[in-house]
Amino acid sequence: MGCPKHFSVQGGMGAALLRKPEVACDIMKTLRRNLNIPVSCKIRLLPEIQDTVDLAKRLEDAGAYAVGVHMRQIHERPHDKASWDRLAPVVSALSVPVLANGDVFTHDDIDKLRKISGASSFLVARGALANPSIFRKEGRLPIDEVVREYLKAAAETDNVFQNTKYNVMRMIPSSLEDAYASCNNYGYAKDAHVVTVPDLAATRNGLQMYSLWDLQNYYNQYQDQFRAKAAALEEDAKPEDQTLTTLPGAHDRYAEDTEAEAPKARNNRTGKPELFCESCKIQLSSDKDAKLHYKGRKHKNVLRRQTSATISKFIAKAQLEQNPATGESGKIVPEIRQHEGEDKRDAKRAKLENTTAVADNGGNVEAASPTEP
């Protein structure tokens, strides 16, 4: 119940539940009734302190094991200072742990907030994302050292490139001015090598990213290990009579830093070797032209169509093998279904065909049966 974003509040979620305490308490009771694990909740400050206390107590009575309090109101955002002084009444009114949240960026902030509010626990978001060493009692480490340790851990666990890049962007300075500003506490010495957000944003794969911190060898070492492990697992899982080994255009996550395979050489009538794309059936003039072609959209679209066609063939083959109702030609004989009202329409159509139109003296047309006199 701490999210104040418009899409969340408009949908009746997040901070919108602060205005509907009966719904929030019902959700808590339902979770406690159906789960056998502790359930906690998080709220924001209400305009009146007593209203915040009453809501927290109702959630405690509903079964909350702990209550987190973001020390900002619904309309306030991160640039607004958190109201640390308004948390103490909530802490003193509850018997369950109260988790304080808002503007905690250093270990000293934790000690100060504990003395002011009496909170037993703390929720840290932006401070931990900016520098995970915030929890060291000795103080935060220089950001360059933190980033290097994080990149090593990401390489050892084969973390996804996009996720690693996003997290590192939250740590490094946006510009050189920010890096050397004393108020930011990045820990860079004068004239030190600094990697900024624009530098990292320009990278397109893991090798380029790790090269910014001279860790490309460390990255390649673990990528080789994961690549070998993946190849061994694929070899063990391969059937003996496998017909299709690899679908056209199949993606290999460990091939992101390797060069594209050289296209096959094909001899023409003159005996001169020429570069030829078997998938697109076109001639390529040079190695440079071939690399551009293999990275282009047209070639990738052809591979996608080939993949779809191959999959469709396998599906059709499987259907033929599973469906015994096949004709002599091997095609599936479609089942003829009679529509519910088709019999009535046929009878009506036959009746109209057997009737004759007889014009009376007034020019009217009457439908008469041929059996009538």
Mean pLDDT per segment of 10 residues, for the chain of length 373 residues?
A: 90 93 96 96 96 97 97 93 96 96 92 94 93 90 94 96 95 88 74 89 95 96 94 76 47 48 44 65 76 81 82 78 55 48 67 56 46 42
Burial degree of 41 (CB within 10 A; 0-12, 13-18, 19+) = buried
The boundaries of every CATH 3.20.20.70 domain in the chain are 6-123
What single-letter amino acid sits at 282?
I
Which homologous superfamily is 6-123 in? Aldolase class I (3.20.20.70)
Q: What is the pLDDT of residue 356?
A: 46
pTM of the model: 0.59
pLDDT of the residue at 238? 63
Residue that the structure tokens 């397109």 belong to: 204
Strand partners, 40: none
Do residues 265 and 277 make contact, with C-beta atoms less than 8 angstroms apart? Answer: no
Among residues 3, 25, 41, 280, the one annotated as catalytic is 3
**Is 140 buried (19+), middle (13-18) or exposed (0-12) by CB count in 10 A?**
buried
Q: Which amino acid is at 246?
A: T
Q: Quick check: is 25 catalytic?
A: no
| Whole-number pLDDT of residue 274 | 52
What pLDDT shows up at residue 366? 45
Would you call 64 exposed, middle or buried from its count of C-beta atoms within 10 A (0-12, 13-18, 19+)?
Answer: buried
Structure tokens at 205: 């794969």
Tokens of 284: 């390529």
Map residue 25 onto helix, strand or coil.
Answer: helix
Alpha-carbon gap, residue 60 to 33, rounded angstroms: 14
Based on the number of CB atoms within 10 Å of its own CB, is 100 exposed (0-12), middle (13-18) or buried (19 or more)? buried
Which of 16, 24, 34 is closest to 55 using CA atoms? 24
Label residues 7-36 b or e (16+ Cβ within 10 Å = b).
ebbeeeebbbbbeebeebbebbeeebeeee
- CA 368, CA 373: separation in Å to the nearest integer? 9
Please tell me the predicted confidence (pLDDT) of residue 285.
74
What per-residue confidence (pLDDT) applies to 327?
A: 46
What end-to-end distance do the CA atoms of the chain give, in Å?
A: 86
Residue 194 CB contacts under 8 Å (≥ 6 apart), including other chains: 144, 173, 176, 179, 188
What's CA 139's distance to the chain center, in Å?
34
